[in-house]
């Protein structure tokens, strides 16, 4: 590799007169910039609105008449105050014969008899009100139908949809024998699984080979040693 000498006589053609080209380009740029600035016009500032005129009106206050002051009354002259007469309710008095008043005072009221008569009057009024009918034949037919077609008093058979109960997890289940179906699960953790899977599944409990448990031989010894473990009915 050969080094290029810095002597102007050995410079390539594209590097010759580079300073002159720089000066010419700067001159052209300055002329173009001056022409652009000469053509550009800044908007004139808006006219400043004049200040509002302040009008000061001096008004002389009108003197007001002084209130009339009455001379004080002498102390020895009493002041009469007008007061409305008190309201007295009107009372109506009824004249009672002297014989009746004496009889009422002397005769004693039998409250037991008065009570029985009042009860009898109330019951008679209620019976008359119930017996009143706009259409008596229709009322009689309805009473006969209520007796002939009354509901049966026999115990009704229990349907499968009546076996709704709560399990130990708080779920609402519908049980039919050993099988059940989950109707509602309040658990927020299992809510998604219940809405997508569990509510469409029927679960059944089956046991195979279950045998009754047998007590271990030492159970009777422990029960004899501690009386509170014995059956209270079997304790002699």
Inform me whether the pLDDT recorded for 203 exceeds 80: yes
| Residue 210 confidence (pLDDT) above 60 | yes
pLDDT in tens, 91-117: 555 555 555 554 555 457 889 899 999
Give the start-to-end residue ranges of the domains of the chain. 109-149, 161-236
Mean pLDDT of 127-140: 78
Structure-token match 């509170």, residue found: 228
Q: Does the pLDDT of residue 41 top 80, yes or no?
A: no
The pLDDT-based confidence of 172 (bands split at 50, 70, 90) is very high
Residue 1: its pLDDT value, please?
47
Chain Cα centroid distance, residue 216: 61
Residue 235, C-beta contacts closer than 8 angstroms, at least 6 positions apart: 227
Average pLDDT over all residues of the chain: 75
Mean pLDDT of 20-47: 85
More confident site: 122 or 4: 122
Decide if pLDDT at 29 tops 90.
yes
Question: What is the C-alpha separation between 160 and 174, in angstroms, rounded?
Answer: 8
**How many helices, marked H, and strands, marked E, lie in the chain?**
6, 4
H/E element, 26:
helix 18-39
Looking only at the bridges linking them, the beta strands covering 202-204 and 172-176 are unpaired
Q: Give residue 196's pLDDT.
A: 92
221 pLDDT band, cuts 50/70/90, is: confident
pLDDT higher than 70, residue 139: yes
Query: Do residues 221 and 230 make contact, with C-beta atoms less than 8 angstroms apart?
Result: no
- For residues 217 and 101, the model is more confident at 217
The DSSP line for 55-114 is: -----PPPPPPPPPPPPPPPTTSPPP---PPPP----------HHHHHHHHHSPP-HHHH
pLDDT reading at 36 higher than 60: yes
């Amino acid at each position: 590799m050969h080094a290029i000498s810095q002597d102007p006589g050995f410079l390539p053609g594209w590097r010759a007169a580079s300073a002159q080209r720089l000066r010419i380009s700067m001159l052209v740029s300055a002329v173009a910039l001056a022409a652009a600035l000469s053509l550009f016009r800044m908007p004139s500032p808006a006219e400043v609105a004049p200040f509002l005129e302040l009008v000061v009106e001096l008004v002389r206050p009108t003197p007001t008449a002084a209130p009339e002051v009455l001379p004080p009354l002498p102390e020895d002259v009493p002041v009469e105050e007008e007061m409305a007469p008190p309201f007295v309710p009107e009372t109506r008095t009824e004249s009672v014969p002297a014989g009746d008043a004496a009889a009422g005072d002397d005769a004693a009221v039998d409250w037991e008899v008065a009570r029985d008569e009042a009860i009898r009057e109330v019951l008679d009024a209620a019976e008359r009100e119930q017996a009143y009918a706009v259409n008596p034949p229709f009322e009689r037919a309805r009473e006969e139908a209520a007796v002939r077609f009354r509901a049966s008093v026999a115990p009704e058979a229990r349907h499968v949809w009546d076996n709704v109960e709560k399990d130990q997890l708080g779920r609402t289940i519908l049980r039919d024998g050993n099988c059940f179906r989950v109707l509602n699960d309040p658990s927020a953790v299992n809510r998604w699984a219940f809405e997508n899977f569990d509510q469409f599944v029927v679960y059944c409990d089956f046991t195979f080979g279950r045998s009754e448990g047998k007590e271990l031989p030492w159970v009777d010894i422990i029960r004899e040693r501690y009386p509170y473990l014995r059956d209270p009915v079997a304790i002699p």
